[in-house]
Amino acid sequence: MPNNYDNYLCKVLKLFSKESITADDIEEINPSTCAPLCKLRKLKPNTEFLTMGNDANTVYIALSGTYHCLINSVFGDSIVADTMLSPYIFGLLEYILNVPKYTASIRTIKASIIIEVPANLFFHAMHNNLTVANVCISYFANVSQYYMDMAEIRALYNLDDTILLYLFNSCNSSSFPFTLTVSRKTMSHLLHINLRSLYRHLSKLQEQDYFSIINGKITINSAQYKKLDTYCTSFLGTNRRPFQIYSAFPEY
């Protein structure tokens, strides 16, 4: 039976390489017949499907949607620690590190599709299927790069630098005028900036003509993009490595 699940997970994880996952793709990986211990779930927005402190015995493969990672503050309230975009794998790290309980909660931001997999079956597939192992290695490498980039940004750049770098990378290679579809709330979570502070800094940067506000949206024309390019080059250098975590983020 494990071999059947190895092949099934191989088929699921191959979808990670696709630019977009279609309804037909989802139908093809419905586990009801070929992998009955797995479960495909279509979740509504604001649904918590992984809870901090529960037994870490399930891996969740997020195929579509956007998610909040929630942790408890020292005061006991739940706060957003990060914002994740699918595809993503939740719960695997705890199992690999032999951590018995989930260390955070995960909640959907928008309608999402996930596949629940018993952690022991996922772990078996990692050890016995080369494709599954390769996808997981690439996945963890990307996650590690994400957090190294975030640590570098927080250590080296002030809030203005962080915001302008985000705007620059969001509209890089786009046609102009470029309109940022991300809400201020999403932006504050993604950049780990207090929402009020974000509004204050955006107001100042707008006055400096790094962008305009049109119909409530941040809009960047070609001249403003050149100004962003000049500014980012001034502190990153000409051989800068773009932070891919700042690619355009969906509205919610």
User: Could you report the per-residue pLDDT of 115-129, keeping only the tens digit for each?
Assistant: 999 999 999 999 999
pLDDT at res. 12: 93
pLDDT at res. 242: 43
- pLDDT band, residue 188 (cuts 50/70/90): confident
pLDDT at res. 2: 62
Which residues are bridge partners to 106 per DSSP? 50, 69
- In 104-233, the DSSP E strands lie at 105-108, 112-118, 178-179, 212-214, 217-220
pLDDT at res. 151: 76
pLDDT at res. 13: 92
* 101 backbone dihedrals φ, ψ, rounded to 5°: -125, 150
pLDDT at res. 1: 54
Least confident range from 29-33, 78-82, 157-161: namely 78-82
Give the CA radius of gyration of the chain.
20
Residue 138 vs residue 242, higher pLDDT: 138
Q: Is the dihedral of CA 62, 65, 66, 71 positive or negative?
A: negative
CA nearest 68: which of 179, 164, 192, 167?
192
* 90 backbone dihedrals φ, ψ, rounded to 5°: -105, 140
Domains annotated for the chain, with CATH where assigned, are 2-145 (2.60.120.10), 158-246 (1.10.10.10)
* Tens-place pLDDT, residues 11-34: 999 998 887 888 899 989 999 888
CB 78 within 8 A of CB 70: yes
- pLDDT band, residue 74 (cuts 50/70/90): low
Mean pLDDT, rounded, for 86-101: 92
Residue 243 has pLDDT above 60, yes or no: no
Residue 247 has pLDDT above 60, yes or no: no
- pLDDT band, residue 84 (cuts 50/70/90): confident
CA nearest 18: which of 68, 65, 61, 64?
64
Q: Is the dihedral of CA 233, 237, 241, 243 positive or negative?
A: negative
Which residues are bridge partners to 219 per DSSP? 179, 212
Question: 56-82: buried (b, 16+ CB within 10 Å) or exposed (e) per residue?
Answer: bebbbbbbbbbbbbbeeeeeeeeeeeb
Residue 140 vs residue 236, higher pLDDT: 140
pLDDT at res. 103: 92
Least confident range from 5-19, 100-114, 162-176: namely 162-176
Place of tokens 């977009």: 20
Q: Considering the entire predicted model, what is its pTM?
A: 0.68
Helix, strand, coil percentages (3-state) for the chain, rounded to 5, are 45, 20, 30
Residue 227 vs residue 33, higher pLDDT: 227
* 225 backbone dihedrals φ, ψ, rounded to 5°: -65, -40
